[in-house]
Amino acid sequence: MGSSKKSIILLSPHVPAIAGHGASMRVGSHLEILSRYYRVHLHILIHEGGRPTKIDENFIKTHTVSFHEWKIAHTKTPDSLLTGILDAIKPYPRLIREYPTNLGNEIYHCIPNCENIARIHCYRLGLSAIGERIAKKIGLPLSQLVIDLDDYESESAIRTLKQQQNIQGRLLTTFSRIDTLKIGHYEKYAASKFGTLFLCSETDRKKFTANNIGAKVHVVPNGYRIPEKKLPSSPEGNKTILFVGSLNYQANIDAIEYFVRTVWSIYLWKSGYKMTIAGREAPDSLRKLCQSYEINLITDPPEIEPLYRDSALLVVPIRIGGGTRIKILEAFGYGRPVVATRIGAEGIEVEDGVHLLLADEPQAIAEACIRILNHPEVAEKLTNAGRQLVEKSYSMKMIENAINLGYEGL
């Protein structure tokens, strides 16, 4: 990236952090690394109406030279024939339209007069149009615009659509399918116009470049600040299963409902096992589900370590979405074994039976959980291999090397 510090604008829909929400942790690690090479001007675009996200002011001040927070109104999804038609005729997908492009003009006016902006770094595809507007205002070539896609957005949308089409009905499914096609078209535009695209796994990179020939894509893995030592092994007799994640995220809601209704309630409940679900902003439907099946629900936990300390196993029964799950790396770091679906573990270079146990069908998921909970030697073998994997391939140093490699091509 060079030895002298130039300036960069970092756009994010999430508050950068060193712990907590997975997306915030990814942005936080990128901010920390970019600040070693650039004077960072951070702009966070947060949707109105949600619960305010706690901002670690010391972390932000340490790694930025300026910081602005912008409130964004939610874009409503179609719920009728009329709103669906109006949505379908708009040229851009919803994930682009939910961030008003004109906001780029206001961000432009926040740039100090003396600043010479060398790069614009956008987290997620949705902010790329604003990044493009700012680049044009300051005369920055679009080749200097970096988009951290994180995951393969259009594929994630397709997976979500397949799971929800029976709930949405034929009409709304059609409009969602149109929007998914628009995401794919916009990805092609981004691949042809912008400088470097980041994806979090080699799996996503191969699929993306196969559909976007010539795209300049670099893999920047999700990483984890691994604890100095893993937690002590779970006490013998501890049969607590943990699910942790943002409870207002559709992929997590789907995973919890799938696990509770098809695995927990049939194979594990009332058989000596316990379950804890922890995360932020749990909807009422999830609260009722946990109450019905005697599951310990912990909302907005102040710290994550006690959750792992009190649990013997992490489950990641994800069926939709994309990217990689930082929660798996987190469990590896703390020394807790993992049972995951193949989509849940996608993008992380794990081997079934070596680093974790993979299963997709309810009975197989239950059997994998029981095997770990009832055989401490299996759990110990998996946790040792999992922690070694994080140390080798998903450390902050690996992330820094990957970002540097992507920026060198600009």
Domains of the chain: 6-221+395-408 (3.40.50.2000), 240-393 (3.40.50.2000)
Distance CA 130, CA 254 (A): 31
Report the run of H or E that residue 394 belongs to, with start and end: none
Q: Look at 395 and 267; give whichever has higher pLDDT.
A: 267
Bridge partner list, 43:
11, 68
Quick check: 150 and 23 in contact, CB under 8 A? yes
For residue 387, the surrounding DSSP H or E stretch is helix 376-393
pLDDT at 52: 58
Is residue 69's pLDDT more than 50? yes
What are the E-state strand segments in 292-410? 296-299, 313-316, 338-340, 357-358
- pLDDT above 70 as % of the chain: 97
Q: CB of 403 within 8 A of CB of 38?
A: no
Ranges of H-type helices in 64-152:
81-88, 94-97, 103-109, 128-138
* 3-state DSSP assignment of residue 279: strand
- Average pLDDT for residues 201-212, to the nearest whole number? 93
The 10s digit of each residue's pLDDT in 343-395 is: 999 989 999 999 999 999 999 999 999 999 999 999 999 999 999 999 999 98
Let me know: does 344 contact 317? Beta carbons within 8 Å.
yes
Q: CA distances (Å), 36 to each of 51, 197, 384, in order?
A: 31, 21, 32
Residue 58 clears pLDDT 70, i.e. is over it: yes
Which position has the higher pLDDT, 373 or 76? Answer: 373
Contacts of 225 (CB under 8 A, 6+ apart): 18, 19, 333, 396
pLDDT of residue 2: 46
DSSP 8-state class, residue 317: -
The rounded mean pLDDT for the chain is 92
Q: At what angle do helices 376-393 and 362-374 cross, to 10 degrees?
A: 100
Angle at 210 between CA 206 and CA 215, to 5 degrees: 85
- SS3 of the chain: helix, strand, coil, percent, to 5: 45, 15, 35
Euclidean distance between CA atoms 140 and 133, whole angstroms: 10
* One-character DSSP codes across 143-183: GGEEEEEES-HHHHHHHHHHHHHHHH-HHHHHHHHHHHHHH
Q: Answer whether residue 3 shows pLDDT above 60.
A: no
User: Each residue of 7-25: pLDDT tens digit?
Assistant: 999 999 999 998 778 889 9
Residue 323: pLDDT above 70? Answer: no
Q: How much is the pLDDT for 75?
A: 80
Mean pLDDT of 63-89: 90
Please report where in the chains the tokens 């993979």 appear, as a residue. Answer: 358
Strands across the sheet with 274-279, in order? 296-299, 274-279, 240-244, 313-316, 338-340, 357-358
Residue 70 has pLDDT above 60, yes or no: yes
Distance CA 11, CA 9 (A): 6
Q: Of 17-26, 34-43, 101-110, which gets the smallest average pLDDT?
A: 17-26
Nearest CA-CA partner of 8 in 29, 32, 28, 37: 37
Whole-angstrom distance, CA of residue 112 vs CA of residue 114: 6
